[in-house]
Structure 1
Amino acid sequence: MNPDAFAADLAEKPDRLAELAAALEADAPWAPVGLDAGTADLVFLGMGSSHYASSVAAARLRARGIRAVAELASSDLLPRTGPGTTVVAVSASGGSRETLDALDRIGDTGARVVGMTNTDGSALAERADVVVPMLAGPEHGGVACRSYQHTLALLLALEAGLTGRPMPVALVRAAAEASADLLEREASWLPSVTAAALGPDGTHLAAPARRFSSAQQSALMLREGPRLAAVGCETGDWAHVDVYLTKNTDYRLVLFGGSRWLDGVREWTDPRGTTIVSVGEDLPTATTTVRYRGDEDDDVRLLSETLVMELVAARRWQAQS
């Protein structure tokens, strides 16, 4: 793992997303899988950021009446599969041992295996009946940052295909523009965000359930690169599981906007003067706020907002090296 290479990987996000948009415009990546909304029975398997992205995708599909679940590949309680099941195994490296082991445990049940990977010729690609490439390019920093973003975009393309909507070409291009905007203006927002978000008692991040992966991925970036204590939470659940630490710690909260449960957060953070970074939404009690191009669109937020804390993590990691 390399902090300078990680920062370079982040800088490539706009160009790589533009390439992905062009690929989606030219071809439907899920067409070879041949799924139909009325009969689709999807099981997503993965670890870490692959599972974060898959969990959001599965929830979105269920909300549209499509059978889909996402499980940690390490689970001993994998769903029962059969001839009608499509198992989507997600691993950027294509070598996640837990994901490969899950495929072994599923065995020859008649389920079809789709491998989502960023690595040609990987063990996962060899095991899959159909491969959906992430097209994120090599991540020389050793951190799944672009591959996480591309996984989400490709799973949105799966959703579009199953619900009869066009490929999300315009959305991916908007995410490229949002990423470019954050990168170009980094000097104007990163120092204040870093000062507010990174506290002596760690960093807490909250996002709406429909974008819970943003809080999880952002926390992972702080742990994986600069090795800082960080944890992700769902905004509505925050008042049930995370609120307690605002009373007796130097609590730092990165709040990804758009939750209908914001009042539950403000009920406790307003009177306690909690240090808050608001991302993608103006919040009068925030210590600092980051807005970016296209952040009024929820799906642009989903594909773009993790770059804020990825850049914070990259710069702190570089400073430590």
Structure 2
Amino acid sequence: MKPEGFAADLARKPEVLRRLSATLATENPWAPVVPPDAERVVLLGMGSSAYAGGVAAARMRARGLVATSDLASSQSLPSWGPATLVVATSASGGSAETLDALDRLPTGTRTVALTNTADSPIASRCDAVVSLEAEPEVGGVACRSYQHTLALLMALECHLAGVDLASLVSTVDAAADASAHLLDTRSEWLEEVSDLLLGPAGTHLAAPAHRFCSAQQGALMLREGPRRPAVGCETGDWSHVDVYLTKTTDYRLLVFAGSPWEAQLAEWTSMRGSTVVGVGGDVPGAGYVVRHPGDADDDVRLLTEVLVPELVAARAWREEG
């Protein structure tokens, strides 16, 4: 992994995302590969792929679809019969656990690889392939491919629900614009946000359940690049599992706005003098808030907001070598 390459990959997010939008505007990549009798969906992956899959499956269930997301390493994968579609996600196409999971599926299960690497083991092991169209990530960190995984699983959601992709195309375009804004204005906020969030006891991130993957992915970026301790939490669950550390540590918290449970969280962080940064909306008790165009739209937030901790991670990684 390379810090300069990671920063370059982030800088190209708007450009590459706009290319994906243009592709989705002209074709539905899922139409040729999803069988018409598919009644159930299983999403498999590890790391960033699993984070995106967890939120994508929840979105599908909210539409009344039968869908689940599992870590590919699980020994308890669903066995749902012949009308099941399995989407195995791996940006590199070589995740050992995901390849192993494919070998453990019931015979006859329809499988689709969602990957950024066409000539890869996962592509050859599945019945069909959908490309992430994220282009090579020279920094060796799944950043654009994570963003594109979300967008393409949202496209799968639309396809299964019988909804055309026009609204999603607009959302992807808006996320590209929002990403460009965060990149263009980083000189105004990045240094201060980094100083606030990178504390001696690590960094914590919280996001609403319907965008929980943003907290998970943001924390991973801080661990994977600059090797900083970081943990992601769901905002409501924070009061049950993370609140305790506000009493004993120099607690630094990034909150992705949009949860109805932020006021409950703020009671504790304010009382105990914790450092809080908000992203994408006003957060109670936040000492600093980063806004971006389109942040009143949850789907735009979902495809954009993780760029804030990614840029914090990139800055720390480059400074620390």
Question: Aligned partners of 2:17, 2:198: CA distance in 1, in Å?
Answer: 29
Question: Separation in 1 of the partners of 2:283 and 2:146?
Answer: 28
* Residue 140, structure 1, aligned to residue 163, structure 2: no
* Residues 212 and 185 (structure 1), Cα distance of their counterparts in 2 relative to 1, 3 Å cut: same
The percentage of counterpart residues that share the same residue type is 62
2:114 partner letter: M
TM-aligned CA deviation for residue 74 of structure 1: 0.5
* Structure 1 match to 2:92: 93
Alignment of 1:231-242 (within 5 A): 231-242=231-242
SS of the aligned residue for 1:87 comes to strand
Contact 1:50 1:91 in 2 (8 A): yes
Supply the distance in 1 between the matched residues of 2:283 and 2:85 (Cα, whole angstroms): 42
Structure 2: distance between partners of 1:49 and 1:66: 23
Task: Look up the SS of the partner of 1:98 in the other structure.
Answer: helix
Task: Supply the AA of the counterpart residue of 1:246.
Answer: T
- 1:159 counterpart (145, 157, 160): 157
Q: Distance in 2 between matches of 1:183 and 1:100?
A: 36
Shift of 1:147: 0.2
2:274 aligns with: 274
Task: String of CA shifts for 1:189-235, please: whole Å, max 9, x gaps.
Answer: 10111011110000000000000000000000000000000000000
**Paired residues, what number?**
319
Partner of 2:171: 171
Counterpart of 2:186 in structure 1 is 186
- Matched with 1:150 is 148
Partner of 2:73: 74
TM-score of the pair, normalised by structure 1: 0.97
Offset, 1:39 = 4.8
Distance 1:35 1:301 in 2: 31
Q: Which amino acid aligns with 1:117?
A: T
User: What are the equivalent positions in structure 2 for 1:1-321 lying under 5 Å apart?
Assistant: 1-35=1-35, 39-106=38-105, 108-167=106-165, 168-321=168-321
1:81·1:111 contact (CA, 8 Å) conserved in 2? no
Shift of 1:89: 0.2
Q: Secondary structure at the match of 1:189?
A: helix
| Cα offsets for 1:239-289 (capped at 9, x unmatched) | 000000001100000000000111220121121121001001113521111
Q: Is the 8 A contact 2:266 2:284 kept in 1?
A: no
8 A Cα contact 2:115 2:129, kept in partner:
yes
Kindly tell me: are residues 35 and 212 of structure 1, through their superposed partners in 2, closer, same or farther at Cα, counting changes over 3 Å? farther
The CA deviation at 1:82 is: 2.7
Name the aligned partner's letter for residue 177 of structure 1: D
Show structure 1 runs of 5+ residues with no match. Answer: none
3-state SS of 1:139 partner: coil
> Does the CA contact (< 8 Å) of 1:73 and 1:102 recur in 2?
yes
Amino acid of the structure 2 residue aligned with 1:140: V
Q: Deviations over 1:121-146 (max 9, x none)?
A: 10000011110100000001000000
Gaps (5+ residues) in structure 2?
Answer: none
* Cα distance, 1:110 vs structure 2: 1.2
Any conservation in 2 of the 1:35–1:162 contact (CA below 8 Å)?
A: no
Please give the alpha-carbon distance, in whole angstroms, between the structure 1 residues aligned to 2:145 and 2:34.
24
CA contact (8 A) 1:81 1:109 kept: no
Give structure 1 regions of 4+ aligned residues with deviation exceeding 3 angstroms.
Answer: none
* Contact 1:82–1:109, Cα closer than 8 Å, also in 2: no
Residue 308 of structure 1 aligns to a residue whose secondary structure is helix
Q: Are 2:262 and 2:283, in contact at CA under 8 Å, matched by a contact in 1?
A: no
Q: Is the 8 A contact 2:38 2:85 kept in 1?
A: no
C-alpha separation between the residues in 2 aligned to 1:280 and 1:124? 36
